[in-house]
Structure 1
Amino acid sequence: MGIGPCHVNKEGDRALPNLQSWNLVSNVIYLDQPVNSGYSYYKNSSTALITDSNTAAQDVYVFLRLFFNEFSHLSESDFHIAGESYAGHFLPAIATIINQKNEEESNPLFRLKSLIIGNGLTDPLQQYKYYKAMACEKSAYGTLVSSSEKCDEIEMHQNECQKLIESCYNSSDVLSLSTMKPNEACIVASQACNALVVKPIIDSTELNMYDIRKQCEGGPLCYDYFDAVKTYLDHSEVKSALGVKSSIKFELCSHTINANFQTSGDWMRPYVNQITHLLNNNISVLAYAGDADFMCNWMGIKAWTLNLPWNGHDDYSKQGDSIWYSNGTIAGSIRSSGPLTFLRLFNAGHMAPYDQPQVTLDMFSRWIFGKILQNSLTSYTNL
């Protein structure tokens, strides 16, 4: 559905070329993590399960060390890490361990240039404030909830939710890379906020909450296309070509991993805190958001970038929003200062590269070559 070199046909029996793949402009490693997602698995079945983003990040770092030892000619290239959705947790955790390990070495094996977070869950405290606004206030794509009584109820629960997330934040230490124990305050916040704030909005509409411009198609996450992807990736000849054990079933969205991360309290933890240190170490961050996504909506993502404490906070806050052009057409709005950039993408949902493949390829290419602000000169506020 996204940035890889191939798409799959509707029947799920053959691959088609993706003419807007990100590997047209870069070398890309596609990594199934945490363990037991995608095709990945532990060789030793007795190994402890991964239940939090920091521990998962340690596995990623070990893999990257092995990779760059094997392919040392690539170690001098700029290295970026990208992902979407829960990658709002994963990427700060991965970047933090890379940065910490590099600070310990006089000659690091590889150097991290930036994070690219697409419609990510990075700062729940800020982002959960905007579900009512996205549902009840008229967005570019209409209103999800028209009942003022229902909206008042959502706001009441949202205020209660904020207090629970604050308790989680006050009891969390996500800057530690040691294995984290289950956090009761974070578990309660996750269960309560998702049940009282998010679920009632989802249940009140038949729209696709990952793209509110569309009806839910009925497949996994409301996309029928996911069924075709899983069908293709479970073909024996595909697994054989990729070197995957025949007994492994491809996990598109692992309910086991989801449950493990939920019951550890990882969902509500403030991985945004790790971004402060990264920015202060001049590691750039691009937070982009398709603005038709409800689940990790652009309002909340923009809010966390504005509220983030770091050395360039004041300059970033003073910036106006600029119209962002892609291939000569208005494609979004952008705010940028120093290493931090927020980009709102128009007419795109949670999986923005699926909805706007040409625009997101342009975004990615300009970002890695330092030209993201090129041709975006018209500034205005309160977009």
Structure 2
Amino acid sequence: MFVLWLTLLLASITTSTPTTANTLTYTQKHAPNYTVFTHAPTGATLSFVNNSGICETTPNVNQYSGYLSVGEGLNMFFWYPPPLSSSQSSTLVFQETKRNLISFSRGNRFFESRHTPRSAPLATWFNGGPGCSSMIGLFQENGPCHFPLGGDSNEPVRNPYSFNEVANMLYIDQPVGVGFSYADADGNGGVEVNVNSTESAAGYVWVFLQAFFEAFRVYEGRDVAIFTESYGGHYGPSFASHIQSQNELIRNGSLSGEIINLVALGINNAWIDAGIQEKSYIDFAYNNTYRSLITSAQRDTYLSAYEKTCLPAVHNCTSTGTDESCRTANRVCSNQIEGPITRAADFNVYDIRKPKSDPEPPGTYMGYLNREDVRRRIGARGGRFRECAGGVTLDFARTGDNAKTLLPTLSTLIQSGLQVLLWAGDADWICNWVGNYDVANAVIFDRQEEFRRKELVPYTVDGVERGTFKSVGGFTFLRVFGAGHEVPYYQPETSLQVFRQVLEGRGVYST
């Protein structure tokens, strides 16, 4: 028994009225009246507040916020606004990776697209952690509103580079315990939470999307893409693979449900494969665009530890697949590589240009979401909002999830023809572009050698070079200049262009 709080932000529909056949309204003591929809095939229930007026202030752009409840005590919060003017028809799912994103239960936000929402694609965003809220993405990165650095207002302002300029955006907090999502206590005052790995989280995301498409039939048949960040390097491939496998079961009659027309996966600054990326911690720390973080002697020491202890432990995790061996790999690599490097110099692991104490991006949104008037208007329940929940991180650590590679899953997705984008800000250390590039070159698919041989070329936005990239077929790697871990925060114009191009389905290209 557990509760998921999904944060959904959809942005690409002007009029997305929920299906009415199975809806009713009731007064809930925690918030204003909810509209309630029950999805009979899965038993999931959507309860949401219409157009709270929070965050998205563009006239005639709808939004919904509330919960998905799956079974007794499982409640996922969402916030979603539909789009106004895109002519494409695709749905995307975004995620974020690694350690600084954690939450308890699930929260969801949905925002319509600001342009032609009836035809615009659907996109879902997941932050990572594991255990961090997707409100990070909503308020700090690519949502309809944000709190600019240095601003003295406690109210968010409109974000002109919001992803719901081109898509209906759905922001999801998962797994249980993340953001506003929460688990109901049992009769003994305790809560049993079973989501402790990437694999176990995937099924609940699928159930949510099934209930969502049933309640909001206007989105049925839209193309769907998954975009992620950070630990989304685990979430994204796993969720996409699960959706594909469920689609196949539905097609052959083994499962009843809606086909999800998944067309793309995008992951920035991803954590995908520990064996490759632990070494990139060393390589990037010594040689990057901005400043060396370690000496040549330290580099040699860390490389020796990587070869002698870290890499063998990761290989043991991969070959055995046991929680114990993968926990060991996490501990060995962290103690001998990650920990020592972070102590070697004063740098922010999410943006090496800055010291550890630097507050950017601003965390103003956390106080905002804990205001009683804001919580009441969006229908939030549960305890105090926290950006990341340590309990979820510990649950994943116990299964050694961090050390388990998603590279084979990613390779299978690319081979299947799914459009995949790996992109990374080049000032981030925790999931740095060097490691992402090495992972991209290690992907196994029928055009692997062609991709490996291809050189990175300039990526421009209106004629200005903003990064370097290479593409083969539907697979693209992009390095973004001057960006830390949260790429859309640092380079919003570039990020929106990349997002738009992926949704168009024509690949990434310079303008």
In the superposition, the TM-score normalised over structure 1's length comes to: 0.90
- Give the one of 306, 325, 328 matched to 1:185: 325
| Aligned-residue offset at 1:260 | 0.9
| Aligned-residue offset at 1:311 | 2.3
1:18 aligns to 2:159 (yes or no): yes
- Asked if 1 retains the 8 angstrom alpha-carbon contact of 2:226 and 2:265, the reply is yes
| Aligned-residue offset at 1:372 | 4.0
Q: Deviations over 1:295-340 (max 9, x none)?
A: 1111111111111112221222232211111121101111111121
Write the distance in 1 (CA, Å) between the matches of 2:387 and 2:228: 15
Report what 2:366 is aligned to: 230
1:79 aligns to 2:224 (yes or no): yes
Question: Per the alignment, do residues 230 and 316 of structure 1 end up closer, same or farther by CA in structure 2, a change over 3 Å counting?
Answer: same
Report what 1:38 is aligned to: 179
- Aligned partner of 2:145: which letter? C
Write the distance in 1 (CA, Å) between the matches of 2:298 and 2:455: 34
- Asked if 1 retains the 8 angstrom alpha-carbon contact of 2:425 and 2:485, the reply is yes
Write the distance in 2 (CA, Å) between the matches of 1:354 and 1:367: 19
Q: Percent identity?
A: 29
- Aligned partner of 2:337: which letter? V
Write the distance in 1 (CA, Å) between the matches of 2:365 and 2:475: 34
Write the distance in 2 (CA, Å) between the matches of 1:327 and 1:251: 39
Report what 1:204 is aligned to: 344
Cα RMSD, aligned residues only: 1.7
1:132 aligns to 2:269 (yes or no): no
Write the distance in 2 (CA, Å) between the matches of 1:72 and 1:311: 37
Report what 2:143 is aligned to: 4
Question: Per the alignment, do residues 224 and 274 of structure 1 end up closer, same or farther by CA in structure 2, a change over 3 Å counting?
Answer: closer
Question: Per the alignment, do residues 119 and 257 of structure 1 end up closer, same or farther by CA in structure 2, a change over 3 Å counting?
Answer: same
| Aligned-residue offset at 1:251 | 2.2
| Aligned-residue offset at 1:11 | 5.8
Write the distance in 2 (CA, Å) between the matches of 1:54 and 1:70: 26
Q: Secondary structure at the match of 1:273?
A: helix
| Aligned-residue offset at 1:267 | 0.6
Q: Deviations over 1:23-42 (max 9, x none)?
A: 11111101111121111122
- Give the one of 169, 190, 201 matched to 1:28: 169
**Which runs of structure 2 are paired with 1:163-312 in the superposition (5 Å)?**
163-172=312-321, 183-217=323-357, 219=359, 223=360, 225-226=362-363, 228-245=364-381, 247-312=382-447
Question: Per the alignment, do residues 325 and 71 of structure 1 end up closer, same or farther by CA in structure 2, a change over 3 Å counting?
Answer: same
Question: Per the alignment, do residues 43 and 113 of structure 1 end up closer, same or farther by CA in structure 2, a change over 3 Å counting?
Answer: farther
- By relative contact order (CA 8 Å, sep 6+), the higher-ranking structure is 1
Answer with 208-217 or 10-19: which moved more: 10-19
Answer with 148-157 or 286-295: which moved more: 148-157
Report what 2:94 is aligned to: none
Q: Secondary structure at the match of 2:182?
A: coil
Write the distance in 2 (CA, Å) between the matches of 1:44 and 1:242: 23
Structure 2: tracts of 5 or more residues without a match: 1-139, 252-256
| Aligned-residue offset at 1:279 | 1.5
Write the distance in 1 (CA, Å) between the matches of 2:147 and 2:335: 35
**Which runs of structure 2 are paired with 1:93-104 in the superposition (5 Å)?**
93-104=238-249
Write the distance in 2 (CA, Å) between the matches of 1:232 and 1:11: 13
Structure 1: tracts of 5 or more residues without a match: 173-181, 377-383
Write the distance in 1 (CA, Å) between the matches of 2:492 and 2:361: 19
- Aligned partner of 2:366: which letter? K
- Aligned partner of 2:198: which letter? S
- Give the one of 245, 248, 260 matched to 1:110: 260
| Aligned-residue offset at 1:208 | 1.1
- Give the one of 348, 367, 372 matched to 2:483: 348
Q: Secondary structure at the match of 1:69?
A: helix
Q: Secondary structure at the match of 2:445?
A: coil
1:123 aligns to 2:273 (yes or no): yes
- Asked if 1 retains the 8 angstrom alpha-carbon contact of 2:176 and 2:183, the reply is yes
In the superposition, the TM-score normalised over structure 2's length comes to: 0.68
Q: Secondary structure at the match of 2:168?
A: coil
- Aligned partner of 2:303: which letter? E
Report what 2:201 is aligned to: 56
Write the distance in 2 (CA, Å) between the matches of 1:373 and 1:29: 22
- Aligned partner of 2:331: which letter? Q
| Aligned-residue offset at 1:215 | 2.1
- Give the one of 265, 284, 306 matched to 1:158: 306
Q: Secondary structure at the match of 2:476?
A: strand
Q: Deviations over 1:155-192 (max 9, x none)?
A: 122222111111111122xxxxxxxxx61110011111
Write the distance in 1 (CA, Å) between the matches of 2:262 and 2:465: 31
- Asked if 1 retains the 8 angstrom alpha-carbon contact of 2:474 and 2:507, the reply is no
| Aligned-residue offset at 1:217 | 2.9
1:366 aligns to 2:474 (yes or no): no
- Asked if 1 retains the 8 angstrom alpha-carbon contact of 2:498 and 2:508, the reply is no
Write the distance in 2 (CA, Å) between the matches of 1:225 and 1:338: 38
- Asked if 2 retains the 8 angstrom alpha-carbon contact of 1:81 and 1:116, the reply is yes
- Asked if 1 retains the 8 angstrom alpha-carbon contact of 2:458 and 2:468, the reply is yes
